[in-house]
Structure 1
Amino acid sequence: MKVLLTGGAGFIGRWVVKQLLNEGHQVWILDDLSNGREENIKEFINHPGLMEFIHDSILNETRLEELFEKNQFQLCYHLGASINVQDSIDDPRTTFNNDTIGTFYILEQCRKHDTKVVFMSTCMVYDRCTDETGINEEHPTKPASPYAGAKVAAENMVLSFYHAYGLPTVVIRPFNTYGPYQKTGGEGGVVAIFINNHLKGDKLSIYGDGTQTRDLLYVEDCARFVVSAGFSDAVNGEIVNAGLGKDISINELAVLVTGDPKNINHVEHIHPQSEIQKLLCNSKKANRLLDWTPKVTLEEGIERTMTWIQQGGLQ
């Protein structure tokens, strides 16, 4: 199929590109490189299935019109977004423009060309988990940051195009994803940051008391989930979660990485109001509709990520 992938030079996008190419599809990547890096997709540049890398923004409507008209995409994976919670609090306009307005521009082109949309949302739209059955798709949302608010707004637009126009769309909410090619600094890279600091002999810094938990999903499992959502009619018009199904406190994660609690520092939280105390995913819907289950344990995923960083992974 002819596939447009926004944000394809990003961390998760890179693995989605790899799977799509392995499956024999023709792939166009659109990325403004605000989060992504050309180095992430360097190995694919000469692949016969990678048709073009376009360095541009999803906010460039004229460019989007040209791309859709010229290439007649059958499927669009929309991963391009501002993803930093702290940045969204400091500069909500940029996040809103990229994540909400940019998504609308993508939807308009997909509507004109009858192109299915797989929209990458986030577990950060949810309120905290309250029991051990985990967060399913019916769980209350709580946009505790402008990032989450922009994603919720975009989700509603994505689903409205399904209901109003019959456009095949799906909203996917992967939980905290980690693995090779994730930046070792910045938002969302707690595993990579911890591993990198551990390998450098630095102490691991934890925001707050460290009792907050995360459901950590290995990136190749995430990419399988993302890709499968594009090729299933069963998820059209749906919201679907994906996670490991086990949560771990940040304190426990730090000990798992460093092996020594003495190598851990607790520091004051920058934006405590946007912290979600407990995140635990219920992926039963993904299993039922997509036959998807995670394959990589947290311990194995950490080992793979550590090996990648030790071997000179991108910083």
Structure 2
Amino acid sequence: MSETVAVTGAAGFIGRWVVAELLDRGHTVYGLDDFSNGSERNIEEFRDNEAFHINEGDVRSRSDISQLFEHGVDKCVHLAAEIDVQESLEDPEAHFESNVIGTQNVLEVCRRTNTRLGLVGTCMVYDMTDSKVGINETHPTKPASPYAGSKLAAEDLAEGYSHGYDLPITILRPFNTYGPYQKTGMAGGVVSIFTSRDIRGDALKIFGDGTQTRDLLYATDCARFIVEGTFSDETIGEVINAGTGTDVSINELAELIATDGTEITHVEHHHPQSEVQKLLCDPSKANEILDWEPEVTLEEGVSRLRKWLREREDMSG
């Protein structure tokens, strides 16, 4: 059945994949983005799709969100957020305003319209100091930056609305997501940075000793998880993680991505206090409730990303 879905942060990296997934499933999408982090290029291919509409606006403005909901919205996926750990240490207020006040605004409009909400959180809310095994949803939280703190505060607010107003809400926590449309500069993810550097013939620079690990989730798998988690009745009131259940060290990742002639170097970490040594998801709850599991292997994901980056370079070159 076709539904109308509001997506905040629709022009961001994960946002555009969520939009693509929703359109593929035959839904109508009303997106909101202020284009501070998202980009016009990310949503270019949807421009001619009659089922896609984008509003330029800010989640910090309740009237911008209200406008989005004037179209008989059935469900909302809330992705808009400030997401840079280092920037949050330098400008915590911006993260508070977007991530906490922005979420409060979305919650209020959802409450007023009784709209089902999928709130996209982050694995960074978990206590990373003792994660020897895969992190499941009962793992203790311990935000290590204003970014993580603001995201956890947003989740707590949502839980308050869920219990206090019986608002149908699901909190979705994907682990490290990578793929096409992710930024390749320092604000990007390690897979995108390494792949981009390899294509250019630049050295892959590993911060620290490279033994730190990540659970890397491909963008389409992440988008499928977010859409299914938002649409399922079984997930209402739940917190659900998504990852592959396998972690890879940054050294192993560099070896996988580097082609002949590409140098791999180790450099001193520029902010070691925010480095997480082990990040591994236990995705069994998503599998049990949603029958969701990742479909794209790391090798396949890197191959797709490399192809996309090459095509983009050819077009701009």
Q: Name the CA distance, whole Å, in 2 between partners of 1:282 and 1:79.
A: 22
Equivalences for residues 279-294 of structure 1 within 5 A: 279-294=279-294
Equivalences for residues 162-311 of structure 1 within 5 A: 162-259=162-259, 263-311=263-311
Shift of 1:157: 0.6
Structure 1 residue aligned with 2:131: 130
Instruction: Decide whether the 8 Å contact of 2:178 with 2:219 is kept in 1.
Output: yes
Letter in 1 for 2:65: L
Letter in 1 for 2:155: E
Q: Larger deviation: 192-201 or 178-187?
A: 178-187
Shift of 1:274: 1.6
Instruction: Decide whether the 8 Å contact of 1:255 with 1:261 is kept in 2.
Output: no
Shift of 1:260: 6.6
Instruction: Decide whether the 8 Å contact of 2:5 with 2:74 is kept in 1.
Output: yes
Structure 2 residue aligned with 1:101: 101
User: Does 2:115 correspond to 1:115?
Assistant: yes
User: Does 2:50 correspond to 1:55?
Assistant: no
Q: Name the CA distance, whole Å, in 2 between partners of 1:298 and 1:122.
A: 20
Deviations 1:36-67 (A, max 9, x none): 111111111111211x2111110111222233
Structure 2 residue aligned with 1:10: 12
**Residue aligned with 1:270, SS:** coil
**Residue aligned with 1:312, SS:** helix
Q: Name the CA distance, whole Å, in 1 between partners of 2:185 and 2:125.
A: 22
| TM value normalised by structure 1 | 0.95
Equivalences for residues 152-171 of structure 1 within 5 A: 152-171=152-171
Instruction: Decide whether the 8 Å contact of 2:132 with 2:278 is kept in 1.
Output: no
Q: Name the CA distance, whole Å, in 1 between partners of 2:131 and 2:167.
A: 35
Q: Name the CA distance, whole Å, in 1 between partners of 2:84 and 2:265.
A: 23
Structure 1 residue aligned with 2:45: 43
Instruction: Decide whether the 8 Å contact of 1:127 with 1:276 is kept in 2.
Output: no
Q: Name the CA distance, whole Å, in 1 between partners of 2:56 and 2:154.
A: 23
How many residue pairs were aligned?
312
Equivalences for residues 64-75 of structure 1 within 5 A: 64-68=65-69, 70-75=70-75
Shift of 1:267: 2.1
Q: Name the CA distance, whole Å, in 2 between partners of 1:269 and 1:96.
A: 26
Instruction: Decide whether the 8 Å contact of 1:85 with 1:187 is kept in 2.
Output: no
Shift of 1:23: 1.1
Instruction: Decide whether the 8 Å contact of 2:206 with 2:251 is kept in 1.
Output: yes
Letter in 1 for 2:41: E
Instruction: Decide whether the 8 Å contact of 1:84 with 1:188 is kept in 2.
Output: no
Identify the match of residue 36 of structure 2 among 22, 34, 37: 34
**Residue aligned with 2:266, SS:** strand
Instruction: Decide whether the 8 Å contact of 2:201 with 2:262 is kept in 1.
Output: no
Give the RMSD, CA atoms, in angstroms. 1.6
Instruction: Decide whether the 8 Å contact of 2:135 with 2:280 is kept in 1.
Output: yes
Letter in 1 for 2:206: I
Deviations 1:65-106 (A, max 9, x none): 2332x2231111000001111111111110111111100010
Instruction: Decide whether the 8 Å contact of 2:131 with 2:279 is kept in 1.
Output: no
Q: Name the CA distance, whole Å, in 2 between partners of 1:269 and 1:210.
A: 10
Instruction: Decide whether the 8 Å contact of 1:99 with 1:151 is kept in 2.
Output: yes
Instruction: Decide whether the 8 Å contact of 1:14 with 1:41 is kept in 2.
Output: yes
Letter in 1 for 2:56: H
Letter in 2 for 1:298: L
Shift of 1:188: 4.4
Q: Return closer, same or farther for 1:203/1:168 CA change in 2, 3 Å cut-off.
A: same
**Residue aligned with 2:296, SS:** coil
Instruction: Decide whether the 8 Å contact of 1:243 with 1:294 is kept in 2.
Output: yes
| TM value normalised by structure 2 | 0.95
Shift of 1:174: 0.3
